[in-house]
Structure 1
Amino acid sequence: MGNFMDVRPQVFVSSTYLDLVEERQAVTRILLELNCFPAGMELFPAGDDDKMDLIKGVIDDSDYYILILGGKYGSVDAETDVSYTEMEYDYAIETQTPVMAFLKRDPDSVVKQKTELDPKKAEKLEEFRKKAESKRTVRYFDGKDDLAAQIATSLVALQKKKPAIGWVRGDLAMTPEIRGELAELRAKANESATAGTTPLFPDLEDGEDKVEFAVQIDYLDDADGAGYECDYEVLATWNEIFGGIAPKMLHEVSDRDLERALNTHLASLGVQIFSEILPDVKVREILGTKVTTPGMLDEVVIQLMALKLVARGTQKRGVNDRWRYWKLTAEGEDRMMQLRARRKTNDNTVAAERS
């Protein structure tokens, strides 16, 4: 078995979404930097009748639970009339999962679009805040950076008080016998055309499921020679996204270089449909492209980690190197080869037969 530093705790992050997008991104980033697996409700498909059962399963597998309350009460379950966020919190308390609660210091200062306009929901939110304050010691935050800093200090302290069972790298937890058996199973799986990966959670987006992102293209119009900007939404499958950036992770790659590769690849997908967006425009020259969706790198990395295609880098680096590093898992390498390896054409097959 590995030592304490080899253990990676799983942390369930529970909050409403629309009013806390930036805060959730900051929390996800700090958890990854702290060598933790973040998990949360956004991993599950909307409208799934068994959603709460799936969520309970992930909370059961989590070492710690984080509650973040902002200005909204959130989506309400039709049967219980209780928000999913509050049900998650109640279940974490019921199962004695170590809980950390963080409340917006002054919810009245939140911009109108991020506050609860429904009087009934606003009342329920206030009752939820009081419940959290009465059951556990809570902390109050002013913004995303303050929240991330408080979570970092709180989590480190909680880990000392209640060490996590966590997840351990397979090569550290396995005996030589088990490692040999897994190697045989992987070899057999690779022989099957339908072989795939087993994600960390059920019902994740994968393969030909599509994700939307925003692209901006600067171009010169051939008609007047003037420069213009065009912003539009692009849909890409997870296979298209992963297939474009996977070769960069054959060796460990930093956040900075992976983000560049991701932006370049996604922007190129946007260029391919540019003529469909402005069919009547004759473009003299593309001046530049960029992806404008905030937090796109984190969204992609988290999804690929959950699908077991990407893992955190393990090479030792200098103490001043603050970058996160990523690499392909064995499953990721298999998927990359399925997507990128060249297939024989009919002509190649015929030529081979004649020779």
Structure 2
Amino acid sequence: MIIGYNFFGFEEGSVFDTPICTEMLDEFTLNEGTYDEVYVDLDTRIPNTTDKPLMWNIQTVLDAKFTGDLDAGSLGADGFKVTHIQLYRSVYGSDKWDLIAQFEYDKEYNVYDYVDRYVQNGATYKYAIVPVANEVLGEMLTSEKVDVHYEGIFLTDRKENRRLEYDIDLGDINYNTSSSVNAPLNGQYPIVVFGNTNYRTGTLATLPLSQSTIKMAGAGIDKLQEQVNRNKWIDFINNRKAKVLRMDSGVLMLVITEKPRIAHKDNESLRDLANISFDYSEIGDLNFNMMVNNDLVAEAQLGKFTFSDDGSVITG
């Protein structure tokens, strides 16, 4: 979207292209006034006041702030061509923003759908997107606050999000530190030196059930599907990839899983069911660099849509 210029080099006129369905509107003219901002939105419920908008909304047509560049859209990078989009997250009430994802900008799409699975239950976050033109960062566009609520225990990586549902055993959580004890020849007591190691390990167990057995509602067990489902769990635990362990108690941990074990039920009628237990070890802080290094950053799902004249979404 361009304010004060058009694609043919004329000094007057305004040419813009938005996801809003405005077939009969391709030029915006201002006369006889002094303006510091022009805002046009498809939403007719916005109060008719002189208050400036706080952010670019999904039904906004343009928001021109006359900053001397050629940009009046929702993404700006000081006149440079946008190449990437960065996604940031902040705990609500904090001024600290953490980078959680980055993906290439494709001008053929106007919707980027990203699911943030690595969140703490009970937390409240704010999100922000920042356009990137090579190494130049554009203006940050922030969201409203987002409350996080979920129940259960999850193991998540870039491709899978598995929930531990039945017969869950949390086991013990060990806090591991390193130390060295030295006994001096001329002293009564030893000298203890501690290292910087400080990480958690533990064991988890669950009873995974196939969807076909669940649908039987206790009337039977699909023994073949139970075996298939257990094999998928074993492959997931043994894939040698980092995962995020999330619990509704607030635990959020970057871990590696190993040593899966299968224990079949003792009851003869339930012998086709088996618990799976495995060990996990914390391997670092859950930050963007660790997520990139461990292949945990998912891609955004791209989409394209516009609006009808009454504001309804038209997907494409």
TM-score by length of 2: 0.24
Return the index of the structure with the highest Cα Rg: 2
Higher strand fraction (1 or 2): 2
TM-score by length of 1: 0.22
Higher helix fraction (1 or 2): 1
